[in-house]
């Protein structure tokens, strides 16, 4: 009989809400993808590489030019030094990189510390690898953890810690003092940190992203995961990178070879081109997205919603309780997409236990017109929610 581990999983909240958006003709502020088509120079380079380039299997660990470009990019932007031949592996997206890391490193019974709310792929992948997630719940508005919270989750079986920064879904950039604390704990307990840093370029001033790998004692115990899809707003390309010290990278590559083996060569060529030539992108892209973030936040606030701070990613969060909505976030999200024509993500879906049920995530990487209409429709949903609850109380 088939193993029930995956059969028992629910449909991901992102697929569910996007499906409802399509079915109801709703504006989709749920799933995190931009309206903008991405840099034209990269798209043209990818097309040219299909027509004029090599379209057979590239090297399993990635084209040498992309691995070199990744290493050079991180050296320029974050002061990191990686040997592209032994410490960089190209993957088919960051989720495949996560899968490779979990499958390569976790042994059955190993415990893995994970912060929630979380990217929903973490838990099924950890469990399929034989790991046991140890969940630490964070709370709005600042989503901070303490040393006591982490120490309470650690046992003699704890081997790994998963860190996402900048954070999906909260939009927070983990501050320096928290990263320093994490590094000290990892060193003290001999933990390997699997660092999901896909939003590292989508950070808004004055916030600054700093990789955990740069802290004392962490160079040999970090797996750094990046995403060209997030860097360049080309989410469908699914080109990711794993960077780690050579002993770790060798293990990760062995898992990668049995997952996707390799990644389309034309996309690798184009990403290498972008990393090497689009220097102004790293300045203009965050500024443009910060303007969209501010537009949606201001429009929502004008409609009477309470908006939580966001320092990066494509996302802001609305505090429903503080906005006069007494429905739980999932109930309100379903009403909003079905009755008001706007799709969002209830953050409670990104907890496994003891969820916060008052927070709604919205994607602001959209056109001004879409953001304005989305805010208007969300206000309509709040009115409908009030009418629904008033009707129940009669």
Residues 104-160: pLDDT tens digits? 999 999 999 999 999 999 999 999 999 999 999 999 999 999 999 999 999 999 999
- The verdict on 271 and 292 lying in the same domain is no
Same domain, 166 and 230: yes
Q: What is the pLDDT of residue 394?
A: 35
- Average pLDDT of 244-248? 98
Residue 77 and residue 167 in one domain:
yes
Cis amide bond preceding 206, omega within 30: yes
* Domain end marker among 240, 259, 277: 277
Label the pairing between strands 111-116 and 132-137: parallel
**∠ CA 78-79-81 to the nearest 5 degrees?**
115
Predicted local confidence at residue 6, as pLDDT: 61
Cβ atoms of 46 and 38 closer than 8 Å = no
Contact between 325 and 332 under an 8 Å Cβ cutoff? The reply is yes
Distance CA 369, CA 12 (A): 28
- My answer on whether 233 and 147 are in the same domain is yes
Residue 262, pLDDT score = 95
CB 254 within 8 A of CB 244: no
288 and 199 fall within a common domain: no
**Together in a domain, 334 and 273:** no
Same domain for 24 and 80?
A: no
SS3 169: coil
Decide: 187 and 217 in contact? Cβ < 8 Å. yes
pLDDT above 90 covers what percent of the chain? 91
**182 and 273 fall within a common domain:** yes
* β-pairing verdict for 342-343 and 315-319: unpaired
Average pLDDT over the chain reads 95
Confirm if 66 and 272 have CB atoms less than 8 A apart.
yes
pLDDT in tens, 328-346: 999 999 999 999 999 999 9
């Amino acid at each position: 009989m088939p193993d029930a581990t995956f059969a028992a999983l629910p449909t991901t909240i992102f697929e569910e809400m996007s499906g409802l958006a399509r079915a109801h003709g709703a504006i989709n502020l749920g799933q995190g993808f931009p309206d903008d088509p991405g840099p034209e120079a990269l798209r043209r380079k990818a097309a040219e590489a299909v027509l004029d380039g090599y379209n057979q299997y590239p090297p399993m660990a990635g084209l040498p030019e992309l691995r070199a470009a990744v290493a050079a990019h991180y050296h320029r932007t974050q002061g990191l030094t990686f040997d592209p031949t032994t410490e960089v592996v190209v993957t088919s997206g960051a989720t495949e990189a996560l899968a490779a890391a979990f499958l390569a490193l976790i042994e059955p019974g190993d415990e893995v510390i994970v912060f929630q709310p979380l990217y929903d792929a973490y838990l099924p992948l950890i469990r399929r690898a034989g790991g046991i997630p140890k969940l630490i719940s964070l709370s709005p508005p600042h989503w901070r953890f303490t040393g006591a919270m982490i120490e309470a989750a650690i046992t003699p079986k704890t081997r790994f810690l998963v860190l996402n920064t900048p954070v999906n879904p909260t939009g927070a950039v983990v501050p320096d003092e928290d990263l320093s604390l994490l590094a000290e704990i990892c060193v003290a307990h001999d933990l390997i940190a699997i660092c999901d840093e896909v939003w590292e370029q989508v950070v808004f001033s004055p916030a600054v992203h700093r990789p955990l790998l740069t802290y004392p004692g962490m160079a040999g115990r970090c797996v750094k995961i990046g995403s060209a899809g997030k860097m360049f707003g080309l989410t469908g390309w699914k080109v990711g990178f794993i960077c780690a010290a050579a002993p770790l990278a060798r293990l990760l590559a062995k898992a990668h070879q049995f997952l996707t083996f390799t990644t389309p060569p034309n996309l690798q060529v184009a990403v290498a081109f972008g990393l090497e030539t689009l220097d102004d992108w790293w300045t203009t892209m965050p500024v443009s997205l910060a303007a969209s973030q501010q537009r949606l936040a201001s429009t929502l606030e004008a409609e009477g919603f309470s908006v939580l701070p966001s320092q990066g990613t494509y996302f802001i969060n609305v505090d429903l309780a503080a906005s006069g909505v007494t429905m739980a976030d999932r109930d309100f999200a379903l009403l909003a997409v079905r009755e008001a024509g706007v799709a969002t993500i209830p953050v409670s879906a990104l907890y496994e236990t003891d969820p916060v049920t008052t927070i709604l995530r919205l994607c602001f990487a959209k056109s001004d017109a879409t953001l304005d209409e989305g805010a208007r429709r969300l206000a309509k949903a709040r009115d409908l929610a009030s009418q629904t609850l008033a009707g129940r109380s009669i």
